Structure 1
Amino acid sequence: MSSAETLAPAADARAERRAKRIAKNLTAFSRRHGGSADGVVEYVGQAATRIVLVGADGSWGDQVAPSYAIGRRAAELAGLTLHESFEGELALRVRTGPYEWKRMAGIQI
């Protein structure tokens, strides 16, 4: 057996543990914000993936995962309804508060 063959199961187990840890955060968000959440898994770059969440109550948040595969697996474990992009009906459900408006006003030119 080669060293690559022995490392693969360990790497898979590590990825699954990471996905389960992230899924706990996603599940907690869902519970706090109406019992369910929709999400979009997006590439941030080579080293990270962002999971954008929208709760049933319109609250939104995000979670960063180390890879697309881990982010996608975490979303599946958490029972999120996944969308291909953050557009249309999903984007319209987002409820923003004073914090977001204040931050957006700060970046106006």
Structure 2
Amino acid sequence: MAEIQQVEDSKQAARAERKAARLAKEIGAFAQAHGGAEGQIAYIGHEGTRIVLVGADGGWGDLVAPTYAVAQSAVEKAGITVHEEFAGEFAAKVKTGPYEWTRMAGIQVGGPSNG
């Protein structure tokens, strides 16, 4: 029985490693497209862990990893700076455009939803 569990554990570890590598590749592509990138990792519950990315040009995006450990591994592999919080100078780097403002207004005050 212990051998079966070891095999299953090693399969899960291999899947997690592959997922982290794929996420790291996506993070690297984002960084390359935006002149570099920084990030923040946030646990979002059962759904997984969110990796928020902010490019040097102010562009932003996010990815979702299945676990915090996978997210942490992905950002380490990608070699980006990771912030504890999405606040201060890091948050101020985000540039929003008309789409974001309209979308936020739509959600918050019943304006157009761009949907």
Which category describes the TM-score, using the shorter chain as reference length?
over 0.9
Partner AA of 2:89 in structure 1: E
Q: What's the offset of the Cα at 1:63?
A: 0.5
Q: What's the offset of the Cα at 1:10?
A: 1.8
Distance 1:61 1:47 in 2: 18
Q: How does 1:1-109 map to 2 (within 5 A)?
A: 2-34=3-35, 36-109=36-109
Q: Structure 2 length normalisation: TM-score?
A: 0.88
Offset from partner CA, 1:6-41 (integer Å, 9 cap, x none): 22222111110010111111110000001x211001
Moved over 3 A (4+): none
Structure 2's unaligned 5+ residue stretches are 110-115
Is the partner of 1:2 in helix, strand or coil? helix
Structure 1's unaligned 5+ residue stretches are none
Q: What's the offset of the Cα at 1:47?
A: 3.0
Bigger CA radius of gyration = 2
Partner AA of 2:64 in structure 1: V
Distance 1:38 1:72 in 2: 13
Q: How many residues align?
A: 108
Q: State the superposition RMSD in angstroms.
A: 1.1
Instruction: Return 23-32 or 5-14, whichever deviates more.
Output: 5-14
Distance 1:43 1:37 in 2: 20
Higher RCO structure, 1 or 2 (CA under 8 Å, sep 6+): 1
Partner AA of 1:24 in structure 2: K
Partner AA of 1:31 in structure 2: Q
Q: Structure 1 length normalisation: TM-score?
A: 0.92
